[in-house]
Structure 1
């Protein structure tokens, strides 16, 4: 009798898993219990080919399973334009592992996982503040150029340059300067090492399929090895938050609320907080929100920008003709050894084409963060209820063979018109798309351009051993460690 009951329960479970819960969703690959389709993604590390394969088989809209949760994927630009752009508010919710967010952020705070009026107010402030730093006094360009100068001098003094480590420190200093007003000089470099190591451990722990499954239910989190995978992310999270709290406390003691100008993001936030007291928006300004907001900006900006620059150098090392063309353009346009600035940007189409192609091919996020529909929607004829998870799968868009033939080939010329001017594609969306696109896009673009243009303006870069271009499964694809050598181009 017990055997019959067990068999019946297994049949019921499999019927539920393989048919019932999938019946009203767009078609897609069959999920495994607990893991869903995560193992398929792992087999096609870092994940691009799993999503591209499913797109070819099921069309631009399909369902895959993140553990036991269904996620509707939109994998072509035209459908994304008709959904997350034209009906942006309907796709502005956020997918939430609520227990995990409370354990790490203290609640649904910050930018990445907040929603509704809190998210709208804080995104508005973030965009406004970063835009102010990029214009007028142009704090952003000044801060980036300080780090460009330090990086170039360090590179000139080294024989074998561990370029990722140097880029990480430089980009970390830019972000810290924008957020807290100081760079990671010799007196503060130990802080950077602590934060960077913790961020590395945090990203690594968050990339584990065991962690994803553990987030789904408190019951699963009690079972080894899911319990350990979940715990692995909490310790580095605490280190990151302790660093942020220390900086906010120090800044609060220094801020001049009577001054109309602000020298960094936290100072600007504290002044806005003071101005909003007693207003309807005042409820959106509080300590845990500020901490979570800074956490989101710091973590999102560090690995994405430094890794994109590192991948760009790796691709160029594999294509010496590209470096020759960069140098030819710089010599023809700049005609001297001076630093490259934002004022030169429109005069350097090939440099910009190299950056665009690197962003496209690097494709940093194999899986975009899912969004949640805030009301009922229809995508390609499929009726999806509110609270459905939807992913704008940007990796498929930037590897779309119809738009970018031979998508795994590094070819900057695809971003040039016949007359040599810069060609743009709406499908180039490394910062995602719609209302949940990255608010730090402007800052990242400034960094990418100024670092890459100035490195190749000053140096001819080479490598005794070409770097690996292999990508491994991770939340953010990271190039394997490599060294390079430089030779000054101007005597």
Structure 2
């Protein structure tokens, strides 16, 4: 006789008692839900909440809840404000176009050297954007050796990919012993060790009289004891900021560009319209520059549609309410984790008719001029919007225009263009694919 059978025999009314307890538990939850004034939302399980119901595409599941989730809030302490303001001021003054152009030169030469043979676009563009971020941070590319660059890029991608498998650890820390959590944590440690090694090598050549890059500017600030915000610029902050800029500045942009090439392969007419506009405005004797950007509406519309379609950050990073807050009559308790569902914003049919269709013209008015659309927020909005927005937009413009001006692209013979179905890790990642490039006449 099993233990359950013994219990039932000893207490004949056990099933009815269990049913009564379940009903009582649900009534308590319902009453608490109502009296606390929490916003409406899906019912979850005790301890695990809604995690078991999110599946492999949580952004799509949450899209079904979009009529009850419209809040974005995050902790924003004095330390974060000081570092954000510092980063924005530095990037506004830095000559990031020159640093980007140098790496694009190397990218174009690499593609020429393929002589029309297939190459992996994902890893190629990741290495280029990673080198751009490295130049912005340190003033020059420290990792000259190919294997080391590949190790750094691979470590970023591995950490991003494994984040999806271990994401539940953010909500259930006691499960950190599970293999997928250990693997995810180990991947982040490998990535962090590479960034720390680069930082330590750079600091050996530090000179208070020179500013080679953002790291030097940070070090200058940390050594100014008379600065009002010097408390926010210590060694731990420097390491954390370098890691954040590598992830936020390299992987996000390279992922967007990888999606972009996939869309261009699937829509060759868009690629030819871009090239026609470049020929008319820029010509063939020089590369497009940031000064050309206001005169290239179709190029800009295409970049915006690339960011909107298959948006790389369907769900925001977790934020939290720093105090009890009431919005539209609903109470958000202090400490509540909050995520924004950006996928719902960019796939809302009211704002974007046929949202799965790749159509740059949706960003142009009837005269062909670029339209401002308030619901287009690829870098989020408010005080916690992406501080690297300006640099990212510059990188995407310069890379895409340089590639389209110099080459035509197609998939290798016998290979099909992948379907635009991604996988959600730290970002919404595109499938891997190879391309062949032919120089334009």
TM-score with structure 2 setting the length: 0.89
Q: Is 1:52 the counterpart of 2:63 in the alignment?
A: yes
- The answer to whether the 8 Å contact 2:363/2:371 transfers is yes
Deviation at 1:237, TM superposition (A): 2.0
**Structure 2 unaligned regions, length at least 5:** 1-5, 9-13
Name the counterpart of 1:306.
254
Deviation at 1:269, TM superposition (A): 0.4
Matches within 5 A, 1:30-179: 30-42=43-55, 45=57, 47-55=58-66, 59=67, 62=68, 73-74=69-70, 91-93=73-75, 115-133=76-94, 138=95, 140-158=96-114, 159-179=117-137
Which residues in structure 2 correspond to 1:292-371 (within 5 Å)? 292-371=240-319
Matched-pair contact (CA < 8 Å) for 2:134–2:140: yes
Distance in 2 (CA, whole Å) between partners of 1:432 and 1:193 is: 30
8 Å Cα contact 2:74/2:338 also seen in 1: no
Structure 1 residue aligned with 2:3: none
Instruction: Provide the C-alpha distance between the structure 1 equivalents of 2:47 and 2:436, rounded to a whole number of angstroms.
Output: 47
Alignment of 1:432-447 (within 5 A): 432-447=380-395
**Structure 1 Cα separation of the partners of residues 432 and 206 of structure 2:** 40
User: Which structure has the larger Rg?
Assistant: 2
CA distance 1:177–1:16, change in 2 (3 Å): farther
* The 10-residue stretch of structure 1 (243-252 or 120-129) with the greater mean CA deviation from structure 2: 243-252
SS in 1 for 2:424: coil
The question of whether the paired residues in 2 share the 8 Å contact of 1:370 and 1:391 is answered with: yes
Query: Aligned match of 1:19 in 14, 30, 43?
Result: 30
Structure 1, gaps ≥5 residues long: 63-72, 75-79, 85-90, 94-114
- Contact 1:317–1:461 (CA<8 Å) still a contact in 2? yes
Match of 2:366 in 1: 418
Query: Separation in 2 of the partners of 1:229 and 1:149?
Result: 40
Going from structure 1 to structure 2, the CA distance change for 1:38 and 1:366 (only over 3 Å counts) comes to: farther
Q: 1:263 maps to what in 2?
A: 212
Give the 3-state SS of the residue equivalent to 2:326 in structure 1. Answer: strand
- Evaluate the alpha carbon distance shift between residue 8 and residue 48 of structure 1 in structure 2; reply closer, same or farther with a 3 A threshold: closer
Q: Is the 8 A contact 2:319 2:337 kept in 1?
A: yes
2:55, 2:310 → 1: CA distance? 18
State the shift of 1:433 in Å.
1.5
1:316 is displaced (CA, Å) by 1.3
Distance 1:37 1:310, change over 3 A: same
Q: Secondary structure in 1 aligned to 2:229?
A: helix
1:180 corresponds in structure 2 to: 138
The 5 A counterparts of 1:233-312 are 233-259=184-210, 262-275=211-224, 277-312=225-260
| Residue 2 of structure 1: how far off its partner (Å) | 5.8
1:34, CA displacement in angstroms?
Answer: 4.5
1:98 aligns with: none
User: Does the 8 Å CA contact 1:366/1:475 hold for their aligned counterparts?
Assistant: no
Give the whole-Å Cα distance in 2 for the aligned partners of 1:478 and 1:356: 18
Name the SS of the counterpart of 1:413 in structure 2: helix
CA contact (8 A) 2:162 2:187 kept: no
Note if 1:456 corresponds to 2:400.
no
**How many residues of Structure 1 are paired with residues of Structure 2 in the alignment?**
423
Compute the displacement of 1:38 (Å). 3.3
Give the deviation of 1:150 after TM superposition.
Answer: 1.0
Aligned to 2:141, what secondary structure does the other structure show? coil
Change (3 A) 1:434 1:200: same
Residues 488 and 221 from structure 1, CA distance in 2 versus in 1: closer, same or farther, beyond 3 angstroms?
closer
Work out whether 1:475 is the aligned partner of 2:426.
yes
Q: Deviations over 1:84-142 (max 9, x none)?
A: 5xxxxxx341xxxxxxxxxxxxxxxxxxxxx4111111111111112221xxxx2x101
